[in-house]
C-alpha cells in the first residue's frame, strides 16, 4: 500500500469500529443516559485516563529519537499537568465532582468495574508487548477523538444541564489536543510502516485498540442492565445436595449461597450496580463484593442463564 | 466402584418416526423395540430419577410426539421437578398440541432441521416435512419457549452453513447445534456418502467463526468431528457418569447406542428400581472408571479427559468395545479413520440408504 492507501485503510477501520457507534455512546449523545449511568461512566473512564500517561511512558521508553520523545512528552504533560491541580487527570476529577461523585472515591479506583479494569490493562499490555511502530498505531483512535469530544461537549450542554460547565473542561481541552496528537502519530506511522507486514500489523493494532474501547463500554453498559432469569431458566433447590441450582435448557449451574443471594436479586428491576451496592450494605466487611457481583452476573449472562430485562 | 450422580435423563419414548433420515442414531434393529412403558410408568421413572439427582429430562425417540400420551408424560416430568426438554422433528406437532404440552409443563424444545430448503431436506429425511418444521419453530417461539435447532452436518449441507445459521436467526432460535455427523448406526452405512472433506470442514469452521462474531444470537455450537481431530471425544462425559438413557423397552443404558455393544447386560425399569439399574447393572458398570481400558489408553495421560473416546465407535470400527477409539491417532486401528478421510477427499456420487426396518 502507498502511505495514502494505508491512511485510508486506517480511517475506514475507525469509521467502522470506533466506539462512537457503541450503543452506550449513542445513548449518551442522544441524552438518554440516567444520572447513575453518567456517574458510572465517569468513574470508570477515569481508570482509562490513569492508564494513558503510563502507556505513553512505555512508548517513550521504546523511542530512540529525541525529536519523537520531545513530541510524545507533550501527551504526558497534557495529562499530568505542570503541578498539582493541573492537567487532564485533574480536569477529569472536576468532571467527577460535577456529576456528583466523591472525588477521593474516584481517585482510589476501588469501584472500577472488573471488565473495565481488564480492558484498560489489556491496552497497557498491548503497548508493552508491541514495538514502537505498532504502539503508536494503536494510539491512532485519537484520529476520531476530536470529533467525538465535540459531539460529547454539545450533548452534555444540551441534554445534561445538571452537569455544570466546570465539569466540561476536559472535553474542551481534548478537542484541541487530540487532533494535534493524532496528526503526529499518523505522520509517524505513515512514514515508518512501509512493508506490507508492518502495515498489516499497524492495522491489526488499531483494530485491537478499537476492541478494547468497545469492551470498556460493554462493561459499563452491563453494569446498568437489569438482569433476570432467562426464559426457561429456573432457580431451584438441588434435589441431591444442600445447595441451589439454576436449571435451564441444556444446562444446570450449581450455585454457592452467595450465588443464590445474587440470583434472587436478579428480578429485572434492579441494575447490577444496584445489586452490588445492596449486597455491600448487607455485607459491609466482604472484600471485593462489588467485583464478585459484576463478574458473577457477567458469567451467567454469557451462558444465558440471565438476560437483560 | 461407586456410581456417580446422574444429572440428565434421556427418555427415548418411542422409536417410531415419520422421517427416515440417512444418519438416524437409533439402533439398526429399532423396529424390534416396542414402546413398553406407558405414561404412568414413565412418570414413575421420572420420580425415581429426581431421587437420584437428575434435574433434566430430554424427551426424545424416534419422534416423541408420535406418542398420544406425551402430554401426560410431560406433566409427570414437571411433577418430578425435572426440566422437560422436547427433542423433536417437528411432526406430527401442531400448534395446539404444543400449547397443550406447554400447559403441561414443557420448558424448552429442540427441533431438528435437515437443510434450508425443502428438496435438500427431503433428500436426507426421505420424506417431505420441511414446511411443518418451519411452522413448528414459529409456534414454539410464539409460546415463548426457548428453541434450539439441531442440524446434522455432512458433505451435502456443509457448504450451506451460513444459510443454516441465517435460518436459525430468522426463526429466532436461542441456540443452534451444528452437529457434525457421527459415524455409527445408520450413518455408518452411509459413511462414504456423508463424510465431508477437510477443506469443506475448514470452510464451514471459518463461516461459523464469522457468524459467531456477527451476533450474539443464536448461540452457535460447532465441534469439529473427532474423525478430523486425531483425538477422540469424551463421549457422554464418560459412560455412566452423568447421563442415563432409557430406551422404549425400559432398558437403562449409559448412551443411546450402548445396546448395540455385545455381551453387556443392562437392566430394565420394569424389573428393577432405577437406582439399581443405574448403580449396579453390569452393563452400566462396564465402562466406568479406567479398569476396562487397554493400551494405549491405560497409561495415557489424556485418559481422564477423553475416557478413551466413544465405545460404540470403537466397537463398530474394531469389533472390540474396549479398544481405543480409532479416532485417536494413537489407536492401532487409526488407519481405518485415515482411509475414510482419504475417501472423503475424492469427489464421488454414492447413493444414500434411508433408515428402514430391515437393515441389510
Angle in degrees, CA B66, B70, B76, rounded to 5: 155
Nearest-CA neighbor of A45 among A181, A145, A183, A176?
Answer: A145
With CB atoms and an 8 Å threshold, state whether B146 touches A231. Answer: yes
User: What pLDDT digit, counting tens, does each position of A123-171 carry?
Assistant: 999 999 999 999 999 999 999 999 999 999 999 999 999 999 999 999 9
User: What pLDDT digit, counting tens, does each position of B59-72 carry?
Assistant: 999 999 999 999 99
| Residues on chain B touching A245 (C-beta within 8 angstroms) | 55
Contacts of B338 (CB under 8 A, 6+ apart): none
Which residue of chain B has the CA closest to A301? B216
| Other Cβ atoms within 10 Å of B137 Cβ, number | 22
Tell me the C-alpha distance between A225 and A229, whole Å: 13
Across A213-225, average pLDDT: 95
Tell me the C-alpha distance between A1 and A269, whole Å: 53
pLDDT at A303 over 70: yes
Question: What are A42's three cell numbers?
Answer: 465517569
Whose cell is 444541564? That residue is A161
| Contact between residue B55 and residue A243 where contact means Cβ atoms under 8 Å apart | no
Across B274-281, average pLDDT: 96
With CB atoms and an 8 Å threshold, state whether B219 touches A304. Answer: yes
Mean pLDDT for chain A overall: 95
With CB atoms and an 8 Å threshold, state whether B55 touches A241. Answer: no
For residue B56, give the nearest of A238, A241, A252 by CB distance. Answer: A252
Contacts of B274 (CB under 8 A, 6+ apart): B45, B48, B49, B51, B52, B244, B252
A229, A233, A240, A245, best to mutate vs chain B, most B CBs in 10 Å: A240
With CB atoms and an 8 Å threshold, state whether B108 touches A248. Answer: yes
Tell me the C-alpha distance between B269 and B47, whole Å: 12
CA distance B109 to chain A (A): 8
User: What pLDDT digit, counting tens, does each position of B209-236 carry?
Assistant: 989 887 878 999 998 888 888 899 888 8
DSSP-assigned letter for residue A267: B
Tell me the C-alpha distance between B9 and B5, whole Å: 11
Whose cell is 449461597? That residue is A257
DSSP-assigned letter for residue B195: P
Any CB–CB contact under 8 A between A236 and chain B? yes
With CB atoms and an 8 Å threshold, state whether A252 touches B81. Answer: no
pLDDT at B92 over 90: no
End-to-end CA distance of chain B: 39
Backbone angles phi, psi at A195, to 5 degrees: -75, 155
Nearest-CA neighbor of B148 among B112, B182, B202, B193?
Answer: B112
Task: Give pLDDT, residue B193.
Answer: 85
| Other Cβ atoms within 10 Å of B334 Cβ, number | 17
Task: Give pLDDT, residue B360.
Answer: 42
Lowest mean pLDDT among A197-206, B30-39, B350-359: B350-359
| Other Cβ atoms within 10 Å of A16 Cβ, number | 10
Percentage of residues in chain B having pLDDT higher than 90: 64
Beta strands in chain B (DSSP E): 8-12, 56-60, 83-88, 108-113, 147-153, 175-180, 219-223, 243-246, 252-253
With CB atoms and an 8 Å threshold, state whether B50 touches A239. Answer: yes
CA distance A225 to chain B (A): 16
Half-sphere exposure of B71 (CA within 13 A, CB side): 11
Any CB–CB contact under 8 A between A241 and chain B? yes
Strand-pair partners of B56? B8, B83
With CB atoms and an 8 Å threshold, state whether B83 touches A234. Answer: yes
With CB atoms and an 8 Å threshold, state whether A249 touches B85. Answer: yes
Range 249-278 of A in CB contact (< 8 A) with B: 249-250, 252
For B88, the 3-state DSSP assignment is: strand
Question: What are B94's three cell numbers?
Answer: 401442531
Backbone angles phi, psi at B272, to 5 degrees: -135, 160
Task: Give pLDDT, residue B325.
Answer: 93
Contacts of B202 (CB under 8 A, 6+ apart): none
The backbone region for B319, taken as left when phi is positive above 0, alpha when psi lies in -120 to 50, beta otherwise, is: left
Percentage of residues in chain B having pLDDT higher than 70: 98
Helices and strands (H and E) in chain A: how many? 14, 5
Lowest mean pLDDT among A179-193, B120-134, B137-151: B120-134
Q: Is the peptide bond before B290 cis (omega within 30 degrees of 0)?
A: no
Tell me the C-alpha distance between A204 and A186, whole Å: 15
For A232, the 3-state DSSP assignment is: coil
Task: Give pLDDT, residue B127.
Answer: 87
Tell me the C-alpha distance between A43 and A25, whole Å: 15
Which residue of chain A has the CA closest to B143? A231
| Contact between residue A306 and residue A230 where contact means Cβ atoms under 8 Å apart | yes
| Contact between residue B91 and residue B133 where contact means Cβ atoms under 8 Å apart | yes
Q: How far is CA A214 from CA A37, A125, A150, A300, B33, in A?
A: 16, 17, 19, 21, 56
Task: Give pLDDT, residue B324.
Answer: 94
Task: Give pLDDT, residue B228.
Answer: 86
| Contact between residue B250 and residue B41 where contact means Cβ atoms under 8 Å apart | yes
Question: B347 falls in which pLDDT band (50, 70, 90)?
Answer: low
The model scores a pTM over 0.95? no
For residue A249, give the nearest of B51, B144, B146 by CB distance. Answer: B146
| Contact between residue B88 and residue B111 where contact means Cβ atoms under 8 Å apart | yes
pLDDT at A172 over 70: yes
User: What pLDDT digit, counting tens, does each position of B148-193 carry?
Assistant: 999 999 999 999 999 999 999 999 999 999 998 887 778 888 888 8
| Residues on chain B touching A222 (C-beta within 8 angstroms) | none
pLDDT at B76 over 50: yes
Residues of B with CB under 8 A from a CB of A: 5, 7, 50-56, 81, 83, 85, 107-108, 110, 144-146, 148, 174-175, 219
Backbone angles phi, psi at B145, to 5 degrees: -85, 140
For B341, the 3-state DSSP assignment is: helix
Angle in degrees, CA A254, A259, A264, rounded to 5: 110
> How far from chain centre, in Å, is Cα A135?
18
DSSP-assigned letter for residue A219: H
Strand-pair partners of B59? B11, B86
| Residues on chain A touching B7 (C-beta within 8 angstroms) | 252
Strand-pair partners of B147? B109
Question: What are A216's three cell numbers?
Answer: 470498556
Whose cell is 444465558? That residue is A304
> How far from chain centre, in Å, is Cα B266?
20
Across B16-42, average pLDDT: 90
The helix (H) or strand (E) run that includes residue B343 is helix B334-345
User: What pLDDT digit, counting tens, does each position of A25-65 carry?
Assistant: 999 999 999 999 999 999 999 999 999 999 999 999 999 99
User: What pLDDT digit, counting tens, does each position of A240-252 carry?
Assistant: 877 899 999 888 9
With CB atoms and an 8 Å threshold, state whether B148 touches A249. Answer: yes
Q: How far is CA A12 from CA A6, A16, A116, A193, A209, in A?
A: 10, 6, 26, 17, 15
Question: Between residues B358 and B3, which one has the greater pLDDT?
Answer: B3
Task: Give pLDDT, residue B187.
Answer: 86
Buried b (16+ CB within 10 A) or exposed e, A194-222: eeeebbebbbebbbbbbbbbbbbbbbbbb
With CB atoms and an 8 Å threshold, state whether B108 touches A249. Answer: yes
pLDDT at B301 over 50: yes
Q: Could you tell me how many residues make up chain A?
A: 309
Task: Give pLDDT, residue B358.
Answer: 63
Which residue of chain A has the CA closest to B220? A303
| Residues on chain A touching B88 (C-beta within 8 angstroms) | none
Mean pLDDT for chain B overall: 91
Any CB–CB contact under 8 A between A302 and chain B? no
Across B122-137, average pLDDT: 92
Tell me the C-alpha distance between B98 and A48, whole Å: 51
**A&B contacts, CB < 8 Å:** 53
Question: What are B134's three cell numbers?
Answer: 418451519
| Contact between residue B91 and residue B132 where contact means Cβ atoms under 8 Å apart | yes
Please state the ipTM of this predicted complex.
Answer: 0.83
Q: How far is CA A256 from CA A226, A283, A307, in A?
A: 21, 16, 20
Any CB–CB contact under 8 A between A231 and chain B? yes
Task: Give pLDDT, residue B202.
Answer: 92
Amino acid at each position: 500500500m502507498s502511505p495514502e492507501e494505508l491512511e485510508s485503510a486506517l480511517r475506514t477501520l475507525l469509521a467502522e469500529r470506533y466506539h462512537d457507534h457503541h450503543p452506550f455512546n449513542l445513548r449518551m449523545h442522544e441524552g438518554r443516559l440516567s444520572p447513575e449511568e453518567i456517574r458510572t461512566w465517569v468513574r470508570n473512564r477515569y481508570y482509562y485516563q490513569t492508564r494513558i500517561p503510563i502507556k505513553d511512558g512505555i512508548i517513550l521508553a521504546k523511542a530512540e529519537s529525541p525529536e519523537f520523545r520531545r513530541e510524545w512528552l507533550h501527551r504526558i504533560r497534557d495529562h499530568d499537568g505542570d503541578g498539582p491541580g493541573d492537567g487532564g487527570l485533574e480536569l477529569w476529577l472536576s468532571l467527577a465532582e460535577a456529576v456528583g461523585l466523591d472525588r477521593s472515591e474516584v481517585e482510589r479506583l476501588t469501584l472500577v468495574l472488573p471488565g473495565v479494569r481488564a480492558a484498560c490493562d489489556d491496552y497497557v499490555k498491548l503497548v508493552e508487548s508491541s514495538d514502537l511502530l505498532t504502539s503508536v498505531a494503536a494510539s491512532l483512535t485519537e484520529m476520531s477523538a476530536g470529533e467525538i469530544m465535540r459531539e460529547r461537549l454539545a450533548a452534555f450542554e444540551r441534554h445534561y444541564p445538571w452537569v455544570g460547565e466546570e465539569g466540561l473542561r476536559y472535553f474542551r481541552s481534548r478537542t484541541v489536543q487530540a487532533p494535534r496528537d493524532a496528526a503526529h502519530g499518523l505522520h509517524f506511522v505513515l512514514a515508518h510502516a512501509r512493508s506490507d507486514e508492518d502495515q498489516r500489523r499497524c492495522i491489526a493494532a488499531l483494530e485491537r485498540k478499537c476492541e478494547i474501547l468497545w469492551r470498556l463500554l460493554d462493561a459499563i453498559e452491563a453494569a446498568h442492565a437489569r438482569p433476570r432469569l432467562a426464559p426457561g431458566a429456573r432457580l431451584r433447590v438441588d434435589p441431591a445436595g444442600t445447595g441451589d441450582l439454576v436449571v435451564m435448557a441444556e444446562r444446570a449451574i450449581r450455585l454457592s449461597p452467595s450465588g443464590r443471594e445474587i440470583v434472587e436479586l436478579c428480578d429485572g428491576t434492579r441494575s447490577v450496580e444496584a445489586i452490588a451496592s445492596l449486597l455491600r450494605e448487607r455485607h459491609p466487611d466482604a472484600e471485593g463484593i462489588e467485583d464478585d457481583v459484576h463478574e458473577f452476573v457477567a458469567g451467567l449472562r454469557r451462558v444465558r442463564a440471565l438476560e437483560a430485562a | 466402584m461407586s456410581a456417580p450422580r446422574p444429572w440428565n435423563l434421556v427418555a427415548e419414548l418411542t422409536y417410531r418416526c415419520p422421517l427416515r433420515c440417512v444418519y438416524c442414531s437409533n439402533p439398526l434393529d429399532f423396529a424390534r423395540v416396542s414402546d413398553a412403558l406407558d405414561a404412568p410408568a414413565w412418570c414413575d421413572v421420572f420420580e425415581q430419577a429426581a431421587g437420584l439427582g437428575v434435574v433434566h429430562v430430554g424427551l426424545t425417540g424416534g419422534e416423541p410426539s408420535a406418542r398420544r400420551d406425551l402430554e401426560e408424560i410431560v406433566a409427570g416430568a414437571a411433577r418430578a421437578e425435572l426440566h422437560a426438554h422436547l427433542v423433536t422433528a417437528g411432526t406430527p406437532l401442531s400448534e395446539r398440541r404444543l400449547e397443550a404440552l406447554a400447559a403441561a409443563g414443557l420448558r424448552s424444545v429442540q427441533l431438528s432441521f435437515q437443510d434450508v430448503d425443502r428438496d435438500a431436506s427431503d433428500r436426507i429425511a426421505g420424506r417431505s416435512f420441511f414446511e411443518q418444521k418451519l411452522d413448528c419453530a414459529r409456534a414454539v417461539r410464539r409460546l415463548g419457549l426457548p428453541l434450539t435447532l439441531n442440524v446434522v452436518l455432512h458433505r451435502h449441507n456443509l457448504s450451506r452453513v451460513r444459510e443454516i445459521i441465517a435460518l436459525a436467526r430468522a426463526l429466532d432460535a436461542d441456540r443452534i447445534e451444528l452437529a457434525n455427523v457421527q459415524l455409527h448406526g445408520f450413518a455408518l452405512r452411509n459413511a462414504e456418502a456423508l463424510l465431508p472433506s477437510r477443506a469443506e470442514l475448514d470452510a464451514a469452521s471459518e463461516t461459523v467463526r464469522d457468524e459467531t462474531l456477527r451476533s450474539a444470537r443464536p448461540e452457535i455450537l460447532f465441534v469439529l468431528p473427532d474423525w478430523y481431530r486425531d483425538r477422540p471425544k469424551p463421549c457422554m462425559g464418560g459412560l455412566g457418569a452423568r447421563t442415563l438413557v432409557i430406551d422404549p423397552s425400559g432398558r437403562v443404558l449409559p448412551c443411546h447406542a450402548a445396546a448395540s455393544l455385545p455381551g453387556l447386560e443392562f437392566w430394565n425399569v420394569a424389573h428393577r428400581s432405577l437406582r439399581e439399574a443405574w448403580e449396579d447393572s453390569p452393563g452400566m458398570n462396564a465402562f466406568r472408571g479406567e479398569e476396562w481400558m487397554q493400551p494405549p489408553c491405560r497409561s495415557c495421560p489424556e485418559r481422564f479427559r477423553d475416557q478413551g473416546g466413544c465405545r460404540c465407535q470403537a466397537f463398530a470400527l474394531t469389533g472390540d468395545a474396549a479398544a481405543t477409539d480409532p479416532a485417536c491417532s494413537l489407536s492401532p486401528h487409526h488407519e481405518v479413520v485415515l482411509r475414510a478421510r482419504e475417501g472423503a477427499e475424492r469427489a464421488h456420487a454414492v447413493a444414500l440408504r434411508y433408515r428402514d426396518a430391515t437393515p441389510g
